[in-house]
Structure 1
Amino acid sequence: MKILVTGASGFIGGRFADFALTQGLEVRVNGRRAEAMQALRARGGDFIQGDLADPALARQLCRDVEAVVHCAGAVGVWGSYAHFHQANVTVTENLIDACVEQGVRRLVHLSSPSVYFDGQAHVGLKEEQLPRRFSDHYGQTKYLAEQRVFAAQARGLEVLALRPRFVTGAGDTSIFPRLINMQRKGRLAIIGNGRNRVDFTSVDNLNAALLSALQASGPALGQVYNISNGEPVLLWEAVNYVLQRLDLPPVRRHLPYPMAYGAAALNEGLCRLLPGRPEPSLFRLGVAVMAKDFSLDISRARHYLDYQPRVDLWTALDEFCHWWQGRQPG
C-alpha cells in the first residue's frame, strides 16, 4: 500500500511515517520542516515539500496513493480564528478535494480530544459527548475539519477520524518539554489537590491505531474514535516521574485552582492589550486541563479497530526521557 502522511515533520506524523515504513508500506511525506525529513528520506520516504494550503500541491501529494493519514494542522490555544481555520479546516478541505480528484480510496484524519474541552472534569467521555460550545478556536476548528471529512463520504471517500489524548514518547516536543522548562524556571505548581486522573497515549499505541484505521473495513468506516492507553493515571504522579528520571526536583508546591484560574485570566487579558498580542505564559484552559479529571471511553476503538493498547504509560515516559536526555548538550 502506498500512503501519504501529512504533518510528517511533527511528532505524531513523523513517528507514524517511520512506523509505516517498518511495516513495509510505501510512504510519501509532507511537512513544514525539510530538515526534519532527512531520516525518513534516508529510509525510503518520498518527500515532497510544499504548503497544503496550495490546492495544486495537495493534488500532487495525492497522486498515485491509496490512502492518506492527515496529521498536519495548527495546534495551541493562542491565535486568531482565521489562523486556526486556515490550518485546520481549509487545508483539510484542500486535501479532501485532492483525494477525490486523484482517486485516493481512504482518508484517516487525526483529530483531537480538544473538541470535548469545556473547562470541566470528565470521566469516560464517549465520542458523541460534545460540549454545547467550544472553549477555543483550536477545538472548534478541529471539529469543523472532522465534519468536512465525514461529509466527503458522499463523494466516495472512505474516512475515519481519531482523537488521541496526551500523546507521548520519544519525539514529544509538546507536553513534557513545556512542563520541564516551567519547572526549571521555578514556575510549575500542582494546581488544585493534585489528585486528578487523566488519560495519556503512548505514541506506539497511536501508531497501531492508525495502522488499524488504514486496514479497517465495513462498519468501522465513517466513524470517529477516542484513542488513549485506557488507564487514567494521576497527572502529577506522571509529571514527577519524568522530572525525577531527568534529575530535576519534583513538583511539591500547590496552587489553589481559583487563584491559578484568576492569574491565567489576568495574564490573557494583559496580553490582548499589549502590542502584537504576545502569547500568555498561562491560560485558563491550560489551568483547567492541569487540574481536572479527564479520560476517554475507548470501547468503540476496541470493538471496531481491534485496538489494544499494549504499551503502558511508564514505558512511554521512559522512552521520552531517554530521548530527551540524548538531545541535551554535554
Structure 2
Amino acid sequence: MKFVDEAYIEVAAGHGGNGCASFRHEKYKEFGGPDGGDGGRGGHVYVVADTSLNTLIDFRYARKHEARRGQHGMGSDMFGAAGDDLVLKMPVGTIITDADTGQVLLELLKPDEKLILAKGGDGGFGNMHYKSSTNRSPRQKTPGREGQRFNVKLELKVLADVGLLGMPNAGKSTFITAVSNARPKVADYPFTTLHPNLGVVRVAASQSFVVADIPGLIEGASEGAGLGHQFLRHLQRTGLLLHIVDVAPFDDSVDPVAQAKAIVQELRKYDEELYQKPRWLVLNKIDVLDEAQRQGIRQQVCKGLKWKGPVYEISALSREGCETLVRDIYQHLHAAKPLTAQEVEQAFDPRFDRDAAASVDD
C-alpha cells in the first residue's frame, strides 16, 4: 500500500430537518389543533483512531465526506428521524487542521479514540411547539439549522518513542531490522527507504518501545534535495533521536564528520524544537574496523562535531553493541530499573519469537 501522510478533504455534517406546520384532521374534530412535529437532527461527522491503518491514502482520492440530513417533521405529532452519523477511520497520530484558518481541530493520539469533528444541525420546530392558551392555531414553523462544514488538512505524524536520523545508506534500516520486528527493504544503494517504517523493539518479555526509521537526509534537503524534509514530521513526537553515522562508507572520499554535520544543520533548519530533542550518536559498521581504527574514527567524529553526549559503537549487520544500546534506550525512555543480563540475553536470543509482538510496519 502506498504511504500517504498528508491529505486535504471537505467534511460536512447533516442539516437539521425542517419543522412541520400541520393541523389535526379527523372526523367530527373540526378544530383538532396543531400537530406538526419537529425536524430531526442532522448527522454528526466522527473520526476514529484505527490501529489497523498507517496511511491516509483513503482520503487522497475521496475528498468530500458528508453526513445525512435530518428528516423533516410531519403531521400527527410525528418528529423527523435524526440523520445517520458518518464515521471516518484514520491512523493513530493524525492531526486534523482547519485548512482555511490553520487552527488545529483534533488530534488522534489514542487507539480507538472517537471524537466529533463536525456537529449536525438541530431540527426546526413544528407548529405544535408554539401552541398556547392564547395561540391555539399557530402557523409558525422553523427550518432546520445547517450542519458544520470544514475544509480540513489531515497530517499523519507517526507515534514512536525513538527516531533514526542519518544519511542514505548509513544502516538505519539494517539497525531497525536487527533490533525489532520491522522488515524494511535493505539494499546496498541509497534511498532504499522511501517511507517511514515502524518497529516494536522487545527489550524483555513485557518491556518494549517503538522505533521509527525515516528516509535518509542529504545536504540541501531544506531546498528539496533528495526526499527533502517531507518525512521529518514523523520524528516530532519521539522522545529520543539516534543519529546513525556510517564510519566505513564505500567511497573513501566521503568524510563521516562532514556528513554528520550536514544532518545536524538540516535538522536545525527544519525545526529548532526537534533539534533540541535528546540525541545520541551511534557509530555504525564498526565490524569492518580494527580496534585502533575504531578509536581513531570515534575521536575524529566527536571532535569534529564537538560532541559531548552519549556515543555508541555498533554493527547493525552483526548486531555487535546493539544489546547495550537497546537496553540504555529503554532505561532512558522509561527510567526503568536496570535489566538483568538474563533479560537482555532472552530479548536477543534468536529463538525468542520477536514476531509475536504486534507489528506496526508500513
Does TM, scored on the shorter chain, surpass 0.5? no
The structure having more radius of gyration, on CA atoms, is 2
Question: TM-score under structure 1 normalisation?
Answer: 0.35
- Whose helix proportion is higher, 1 or 2? 1
- Whose strand proportion is higher, 1 or 2? 2
Higher relative contact order (CA 8 A, sep 6+): 1
Question: TM-score under structure 2 normalisation?
Answer: 0.33
